[in-house]
Amino acid sequence: MSPLITPADLAALDGAAVLDVRWRLGGPPGAESYREGHIPGAVFCDMNADLAAPPGPEGRHPLPEAGRFQEAMRRLGVCGSRPVVVYDEADSTAAARAWWMLRYFGHPDVRVLDGGLRAWSAEGRPLATDTPDPAPGDFTARPGGMPVLDAGAAAKLAYDGLLLDARAAERYRGEVEPIDPVAGHIPGAVSAPTGENVDPSGRFHLPEFLRERFNTLGAVPGVDVGTYCGSGVTAAHQVLALEVAGIPAALYVGSWSNWVADPSRPVATG
């Protein structure tokens, strides 16, 4: 089953929990956008409060404890036996984090609305401004459903396999760093900006296109693949794009914000 779902298929899907995961680094707050209009029945899922632990040495968006994530998902009405659909504004950057988190903690049926709210609205589908109060869910969080990397494993994979850097190319090269205290990339990593996974409308490219893209970067049979970004959000988008292409990949959740927390770790530029 594809990890993506179209607006038409979502409209025909009964019984799914729908999570609005709109978020953008630096704002505006996703909750404000949600109140202005959302897919009917969707509940707002907060990137910082629901999909990450507080920032610290582990990174800007570290993994929350299983119990904390379980509590958040149950509050949002997520059940283990019902499908979940997640969406954001358009390009699935934030929605992919929710998709990956639910998969990592063991939910068997999670899909991302391809093209997000923009694709939904472009088809003339309705929006709502109410705030639903879903019945509590029964989702049980069991970590381990998706492969992860720590700093040591990421460093090793950069030489023994393929480690993709999902950030913009200028951040990879170390020319700019607007967020983290050190610029550059993990030595041996390959630049693979997530913006190239989607078309101008925010929809994912076809699986064949993505497969060729990642094959060209070195993701070929027999090569282990991992990915990282600034804090593990856009890297989840990369994992999603790789899955659409039929290529399994591990996520370095702490990503660059965790890597540079230890000044002894090497940094490459260029």
Looking at the structure, tell me whether residues 162 and 248 fall in a common domain. yes
Are 112 and 166 found together in one domain? no
pLDDT at 25: 80
Going by pLDDT thresholds of 50, 70 and 90, the confidence category of residue 28 is confident
162 and 234 together in one domain: yes
Q: What is the pLDDT of residue 23?
A: 94
Q: pLDDT tens-digit profile of 87-129? A: 999 999 999 999 999 999 999 999 999 999 999 999 999 999 9
237 CB-contact burial (10 Å; exposed 0-12 / middle 13-18 / buried 19+): buried
User: pLDDT tens digit string along 210-260?
Assistant: 999 999 999 999 999 999 999 999 999 999 999 999 999 999 999 999 999
Q: Are 60 and 257 in contact (CB under 8 A)?
A: yes
Instruction: Kindly state whether residues 112 and 10 are assigned to the same domain.
Output: yes
Looking at 122, 156, 176, the residue that finishes a domain is: 122
Let me know whether 177 and 103 are in one domain: no
Q: Is residue 266 part of a domain?
A: no
**Residue 43: predicted pLDDT:** 98
Q: pLDDT band for position 197 (50/70/90)?
A: very high
Q: What is the reported pLDDT for 228?
A: 98
Q: pTM of the entire structure?
A: 0.96
* CATH number of the domain enclosing 77: 3.40.250.10
Q: In terms of residue numbers, what domain contains 69? A: 4-122
Are 116 and 23 found together in one domain? yes
Q: With H, G, I as helix, E, B as strand and everything else as coil, classify residue 202.
A: coil
The structural domain count of the chain equals 2
Same domain, 20 and 113: yes
DSSP bridge partners of 5: 113
Q: Is residue 135 part of a domain?
A: no
Task: Give the pLDDT of residue 1.
Answer: 82
Same domain, yes or no: 9 and 111: yes
Out of 122, 140, 173, a domain closes at: 122
Confidence of residue 21 (pLDDT cuts 50, 70, 90): very high
Output the pLDDT for position 201.
Answer: 96
The pLDDT tens digits of the residues spanning 37-69 come to 999 999 999 999 999 999 999 999 999 999 999
Choose the final residue of a domain: 106, 122, 138: 122
Determine how many CB atoms are found less than 10 A away from the CB of residue 270: 8
Q: Is the pLDDT of residue 26 over 90?
A: no
User: Does some domain include residue 52?
Assistant: yes
Decide if pLDDT at 191 tops 80. yes
Which of 110, 162, 229, 240 is the catalytic position?
229
- Residue 223 CA to residue 44 CA, distance in Å, equals 38
Helix (H) / strand (E) element for 226: namely strand 225-228
The pLDDT, as a whole number, for residue 27 is: 72
Judged by DSSP in three states, 107 sits in: coil
What pLDDT, on the 0 to 100 scale, is given for residue 199? 97
Q: Does residue 108 fall inside a structural domain?
A: yes
Is 86 contained in some domain? yes
Where residue 29 falls among pLDDT bands split at 50, 70, 90? confident
Spatial contact of 88 and 95, defined as CB atoms under 8 Å apart? yes
Residue whose C-alpha is closest to residue 236's, from 12, 23, 6, 5:
23
Same domain, 72 and 165: no
Residues 167-185: what's their mean pLDDT? 97
Q: Is 79 a catalytic residue?
A: no
Q: Does residue 267 sit within a domain?
A: no
- Same domain, yes or no: 15 and 72: yes
pLDDT at 24: 85
Residue type, 76: L
CB distance 192 to 108 below 8 Å: no
Same domain, yes or no: 14 and 70: yes
71 and 32 together in one domain? yes
pLDDT value at residue 190? 98
Asked if residue 134 belongs to a domain, the reply is no
Q: Is residue 270 part of a domain?
A: no
